[in-house]
Amino acid sequence: MPRIPTLEDLGDVSGKRVLVRTDFNVPMEGPDEARTITDDFRIRAALPTINWLTERGATVVCASHLGRPKGAPVVKYSMEPVRRRLAELAPGVELLENLRFNAGEEKNDPDFAVQLVRGIDAYVNDAFGAAHRAHASVVGPPKTLPSAAGRLLQRELEVLGGLRENPKRPFVAVLGGAKVSDKLGVIEALLQVVDALVIGGGMCFTFLAAKGYPVGDSICELDHVSTCRKLLEGSKPIHLPEDINGLDASGAYATFGVRLPEGAKGLDIGPGSAAAFSDVIMEARTVFWNGPMGMFEDERFASGTRTVAHAMADTKAFTVVGGGDSAAALAQFGLDEEVDHVSTGGGASLELLELGDLPGLAALRGAPNAR
């Protein structure tokens, strides 16, 4: 199988126009006509690739999606605020308008891909957060242009590939989030490589139901209870909460054991669970975390996620956070600089761990300069 080309495989880029697929899907606030960026991390993350190219004489043209405009121009999702910030960080770099303003992007329309590469000499994919999408800007350009993975994409592959192939042990995965159905595939894949699994968040209630515990009015996917039961019967230990924070039937804050009374709703792991999960993390040598332990946006139900985040920051293990809400939680608690790697793609990181490949990676391996 051809390897994925890197920037060095583009050869001499002096005088060439290089299209760089970036992930500038940054958070913004304010009125539609005057939105401002609240976190420019994703723009700054692309700078190593952009600077490598410009320092070697290339003209860089960046392209990104922003939000979900559904194939038509929407003022709210204009790239103009991003363009202004990019001009400050990397003067002279061009930025196309939101790719998703054209319906051909998400439909993987070959004609749109041809339009994107007109006048372009080479292509770089540095958008790990979009590499699991078979969209025109992701899989189209490598069909005709010399192509490469940017530095950000390359680093994601090194870290997440290392988790699949050669992690330091014990290797522990901590998973949370609302629905177990969203993560069954990755759970099954991780159980092939981890030494233990820790389950929190809303998805834990389907597992607790699989053990026969009543879960009150908590999120519970009854059609997946039997699958969770089979997973619990496997050879790898799966750690579940031993207490739960939430609301009782009257709507008052309460802490429960694992048997939730009728009308109660679990919204966070309890203090005992948070301490136990932290112990598992502290004893590991590699930890992957994806998904909050509770509804951390509400301070009443943030303690479980906060405790796990601090354990990730304090452990001597190699720590990887799989983007998405987990990365947002780390940033909220001021701990995003305290872990070894924060992935820029929540869905992409899970899909890569589950499947070992992504459409954007396969496209790069098929590029004319791949070998």
- How confident is the model over 24-38, as a mean pLDDT? 92
* Active-site pick, 324, 345, 346, 360: 324
Judge whether 7-153+358-365 and 169-316 match in fold. Answer: yes
Q: What per-residue confidence (pLDDT) applies to 1?
A: 62
Is residue 324 among the annotated active site residues?
Answer: yes
- How confident is the model over 80-103, as a mean pLDDT? 97
Burial readout 309-339 (b: 16 or more C-beta within 10 A, e: otherwise): bbbbbebebbbbbbbbbbbbbbebbebbebb
Q: Is the pLDDT of residue 33 over 90?
A: no
Beta partners for 196?
172
CATH assignment of 7-153+358-365, given 3.30.300.130, 3.40.50.1260, 2.120.10.30, 3.40.960.10? 3.40.50.1260
* Active-site pick, 16, 21, 35, 42: 42
Is residue 179 among the annotated active site residues?
Answer: yes
What type of residue sits at position 97?
E
Do the bridges between strand 196-199 and strand 238-239 make them parallel or antiparallel, or are there none, so unpaired?
parallel
Distance set, CA 132 to CA 59, 99, 136 (Å): 27, 16, 12
Is residue 300 among the annotated active site residues?
Answer: no
Q: Is the pLDDT of residue 36 over 90?
A: yes
- How confident is the model over 191-198, as a mean pLDDT? 96
* Active-site pick, 164, 179, 236, 285: 179
Bond preceding residue 292 cis, omega within 30 of 0: no
pLDDT, tens digit, 9 for 90 and up, residues 290-341: 999 999 999 999 999 999 999 999 999 999 998 778 888 998 899 989 999 9
How large is the angle between the packed helices 324-332 and 346-355, nearest 10 degrees? Answer: 130
What does pTM read for this prediction?
Answer: 0.91
Is residue 42 among the annotated active site residues?
Answer: yes
- Domain range summary for the chain, segments of one domain joined by +: 7-153+358-365, 169-316
What type of residue sits at position 215?
V
Architecture in CATH of 169-316? 3-Layer(aba) Sandwich (3.40)
pLDDT, tens digit, 9 for 90 and up, residues 95-129: 999 999 999 999 999 999 999 999 999 999 999 99
